[in-house]
């Protein structure tokens, strides 16, 4: 069996901490230790609380000296380039020379913490250097504690800590995407706009490249056995032990024979190995004489077209998508991959945003049906209560809902979705037992295959998000925080039978605000900008808004409290009474991060 292949074949970006200082002799000496201690405390906070996608602690790099002027700023920038820094945080307890000490890299996400202490005016420096950033067109996040601290206090107040962590999570997500690839496995699926790859979006907004592979490459690799044969044997044995077949809903006279179904499993597992190897490579292939194939395409996210040119003839990609998107497979517990069905690159990117902010597996789903309380009662006799009392959305799609989405992982006896390093073997077993693999609906998938079938447990806080492209405007983000809903079994089955019972279901109740797109649940559905959504564990809307502002993507729809919205200070210059409009104006003014 292959060892852990090189998913992250280049080093992760680091966070650079810049201690800036008043360069005047005498003043500087009195502040050196306090300033450097601020930097050390911030580095310690971020390394203790944040992790890379492989589960290791985020690395921070501190400038060699405090930065009192342009020479030391340049030396710090040189060190950061050598160390692979992708995020910049400046800290200071005092006045410094603003534009002489600032980080002027226009593509480096940056934040500045100005200490709130009246003995030395850190807040004055913060205001001055933010003004310099704004004037130069390099937006930066300002961090200023609410309460005055004593001059020698080196603690990080709770509100400052919250902003440091929110900025760092979002900025690291942006840095992790930069230079990576989106891999299209096939082309446009059934006219879905999201699978029309817009290279300028990936290049200008995300700093990513686009890679393309025709689906015939799967056939070539299957026919010529360009995959690890030992791993294939292990995978097939694992599937036989852990993946139970569910009922076949196809008419009996149209059902595939057991021999055909067994062949579908063989193909599905090979597709999974091949899809993964195409994304990230596999050194084992070089040992088999396939050096180029062993490299992969440096993809942090991908999408499989499938329908219909593939699925009219071959087994569908549902198993590949669901298993790769999950946090485990025959090799054990590991980080999930991000693979979108129907090559919906925009939903793939939405899944990627969610994943990089949480390190949790993602659910890809159709935003399929709004169920009003009246409709549910009319059809099932059941009266919705709790978070769903005003109605709910049925999120359902055939393939790439990670098995983590069953909700069979737990924390404090509550259903959750966890980063892979927190998942236990018993939780993997529970996720597998809660999932059945149903023979594909042959009306949809003429070539056969298997689809995941599970129901997400209720009570989980989740966030649904989506990136859409609008001609003349560019990308926009929409998001909705809410909760998963658990229905009585007979109610779920009654409603589920009206669509395809062979697919995984997540019942979702968005949090309502009583206004705009969140006036009621119907309005949320009516405002959703595409047929797909990416669903992440946790209420992460505030982090998504911060990430969107770093990338200069305006947010057209959200239900996050205004007090939790955190964007660069420059955004306040674009209007205070219409924050959503200010976001659009600021993003348009500064333009994509990498253009």
**Is the pLDDT score of 154 beyond 90?**
no
**Is the pLDDT score of 4 beyond 80?**
no
Residue 188: is it exposed, middle or buried by C-beta count within 10 angstroms (0-12/13-18/19+)? middle
Average pLDDT of the chain?
96
Beta bridge partners of 14: 85
Let me know: does 293 contact 224? Beta carbons within 8 Å. no
The percentage of the chain sitting over the pLDDT mark of 70, rounded to a whole number, equals 99
Token representation of residue 577: 């009474």
484: nearest Cα among 412, 380, 414: 414
Three-state DSSP state, 123: helix
Token representation of residue 139: 């937006």
If you average pLDDT over residues 514-538, what whole number do you get?
Answer: 97
pLDDT band at 572 (very low <50, low <70, confident <90, very high): very high
* Residue 495 to residue 511: CA distance in whole angstroms: 22
Let me know: does 103 contact 72? Beta carbons within 8 Å. no
In terms of average pLDDT, the best of 118-122, 148-152, 198-202 is 198-202
87: nearest Cα among 137, 140, 124, 128: 140
The percentage of the chain sitting over the pLDDT mark of 90, rounded to a whole number, equals 93
Per-residue pLDDT reduced to its tens digit, 389-426: 999 999 998 767 999 999 999 999 999 999 999 999 99
pLDDT of residue 119: 81
Q: Which residues are known catalytic residues?
A: 342, 366
pLDDT band at 2 (very low <50, low <70, confident <90, very high): very low
* Residue 35 to residue 19: CA distance in whole angstroms: 6
Sign of CA dihedral 238, 240, 244, 249: positive
Let me know: does 541 contact 479? Beta carbons within 8 Å. yes
Q: Which helix (H) or strand (E) holds 29?
A: helix 27-49
**Is the pLDDT score of 166 beyond 80?**
yes
Per-residue pLDDT reduced to its tens digit, 180-221: 999 999 999 999 999 999 999 999 999 999 999 999 999 999
* Residue 219 to residue 483: CA distance in whole angstroms: 41
pLDDT of residue 419: 98
Let me know: does 351 contact 341? Beta carbons within 8 Å. no
pLDDT of residue 97: 94
Q: Where are the beta strands (DSSP E) in 194-276?
A: 209-213
**Is the pLDDT score of 1 beyond 50?**
no
Token representation of residue 5: 């292949």
Torsional class of 391: left (φ above 0), alpha (ψ -120 to 50), beta (otherwise): left
Q: Residue 51 contacts by C-beta under 8 Å, 6 or more apart in sequence?
A: 57, 58, 359, 419, 421
Q: Residue 81 contacts by C-beta under 8 Å, 6 or more apart in sequence?
A: none
If you average pLDDT over residues 344-358, what whole number do you get?
Answer: 98
Domains along the chain with CATH numbers? 13-177 (3.40.50.1070), 181-590 (3.20.14.10)
Binding site feature residues for Mn(2+): 342, 366, 532
pLDDT band at 46 (very low <50, low <70, confident <90, very high): very high
* Residue 162 to residue 157: CA distance in whole angstroms: 9
- DSSP class of residue 461 equals E
The per-residue DSSP string of 70-90 comes to HHHHHHHHHHHHHHTEEEEEE
- DSSP class of residue 240 equals H
If you average pLDDT over residues 556-561, what whole number do you get?
Answer: 98
305: nearest Cα among 232, 400, 222, 207: 400
As a whole number of Å, the end-to-end CA separation of the chain is: 43
Let me know: does 384 contact 392? Beta carbons within 8 Å. yes
Sign of CA dihedral 524, 526, 527, 530: positive
pLDDT of residue 481: 98
Per-residue pLDDT reduced to its tens digit, 260-306: 999 999 999 999 999 999 999 999 999 999 999 999 999 999 999 99
**Is the pLDDT score of 6 beyond 80?**
no
* Residue 342 to residue 352: CA distance in whole angstroms: 16
pLDDT of residue 3: 42
Three-state DSSP state, 452: strand
Q: Which residue has the higher pLDDT, 5 or 377?
A: 377
pLDDT of residue 121: 80
Q: Where are the beta strands (DSSP E) in 188-341?
A: 209-213, 299-304, 328-329, 332-333, 339-341
Three-state DSSP state, 306: coil
Token representation of residue 300: 């942090």
Say how far residue 491 (Cα) sits from the centre of its chain. 32
485 backbone dihedrals φ, ψ, rounded to 5°: -120, 135
């Amino acid at each position: 069996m292959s060892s852990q292949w090189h998913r992250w074949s280049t080093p992760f970006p680091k966070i650079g901490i810049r201690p800036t200082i008043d360069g005047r002799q005498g003043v500087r000496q009195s502040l050196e230790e306090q300033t450097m201690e601020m930097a050390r405390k911030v580095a310690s906070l971020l390394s203790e609380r944040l992790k890379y996608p492989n589960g290791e602690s985020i690395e921070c790099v501190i400038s060699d000296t405090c930065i009192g002027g342009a020479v030391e700023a340049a030396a710090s920038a040189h060190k950061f380039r050598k160390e692979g820094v992708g995020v910049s945080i400046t800290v200071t307890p005092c006045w410094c020379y603003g534009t002489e000490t600032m980080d002027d890299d226009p593509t480096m996400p940056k934040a500045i913490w100005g200490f709130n202490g009246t003995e030395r005016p850190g807040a004055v420096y913060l205001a001055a250097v933010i003004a310099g950033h704004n004037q130069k067109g390099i937006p930066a996040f300002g961090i200023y504690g609410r309460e005055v601290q004593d001059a020698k206090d080196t603690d990080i107040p709770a509100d400052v800590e919250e902003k440091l962590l929110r900025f760092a999570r979002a900025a690291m997500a942006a840095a992790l995407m930069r230079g990576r690839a989106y891999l299209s496995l096939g082309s446009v699926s059934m006219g879905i706009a999201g699978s029309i790859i817009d290279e300028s979006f990936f290049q200008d907004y995300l700093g990513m490249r686009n890679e393309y592979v025709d689906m015939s490459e799967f056939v070539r690799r299957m026919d010529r056995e360009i995959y690890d044969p030992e791993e294939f044997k292990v995978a097939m044995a694992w599937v036989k032990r852990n993946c139970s077949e569910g009922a076949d809903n196809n008419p009996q006279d149209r059902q595939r024979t057991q021999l055909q179904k067994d062949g579908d499993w063989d193909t599905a597992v090979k597709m999974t190995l091949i899809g993964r190897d195409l994304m990230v490579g596999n050194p084992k292939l070089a040992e088999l004489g396939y050096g180029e194939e062993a490299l992969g395409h440096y993809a942090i996210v991908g999408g499989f077209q499938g329908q219909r040119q593939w699925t009219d003839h071959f087994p569908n990609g549902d198993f590949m998508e669901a298993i790769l998107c999950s946090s485990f497979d025959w090799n054990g517990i590991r980080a999930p991959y991000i693979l979108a069905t129907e090559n919906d690159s925009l939903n793939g990117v939405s899944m990627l945003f969610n994943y990089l902010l949480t390190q949790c597996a993602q659910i890809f789903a159709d935003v399929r049906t709004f169920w009003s309380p009246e409709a549910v009662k009319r059809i099932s006799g059941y009266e919705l209560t709790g978070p769903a009392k005003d109605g709910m959305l049925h999120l359902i799609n055939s393939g790439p809902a990670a098995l983590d989405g069953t909700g069979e992982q737990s924390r404090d006896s509550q259903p959750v979705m966890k980063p892979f390093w927190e998942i236990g073997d018993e939780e993997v077993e529970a996720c597998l037992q809660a999932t059945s693999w149903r023979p594909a609906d042959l009306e949809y998938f003429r070539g056969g295959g298997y689809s995941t079938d599970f129901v997400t447990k209720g009570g989980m806080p989740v966030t649904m998000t989506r990136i859409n492209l609008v001609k003349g405007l560019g990308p926009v983000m929409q998001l909705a925080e809410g909760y998963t809903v658990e229905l009585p079994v007979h109610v779920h089955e009654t409603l589920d039978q009206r669509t395809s019972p062979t697919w995984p279901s997540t019942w979702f109740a968005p949090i309502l605000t009583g206004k705009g797109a969140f006036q009621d649940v119907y309005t949320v559905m009516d405002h959703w900008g595409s047929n797909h959504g990416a669903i992440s564990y946790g209420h992460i809307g505030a982090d998504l808004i911060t990430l969107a502002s770093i990338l200069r993507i305006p947010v057209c729809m959200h239900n996050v409290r205004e007090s939790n919205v955190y964007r660069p200070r420059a955004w306040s210059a674009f209007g205070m009474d219409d924050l959503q409009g200010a976001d659009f104006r600021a993003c348009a003014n500064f333009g994509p991060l990498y253009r």
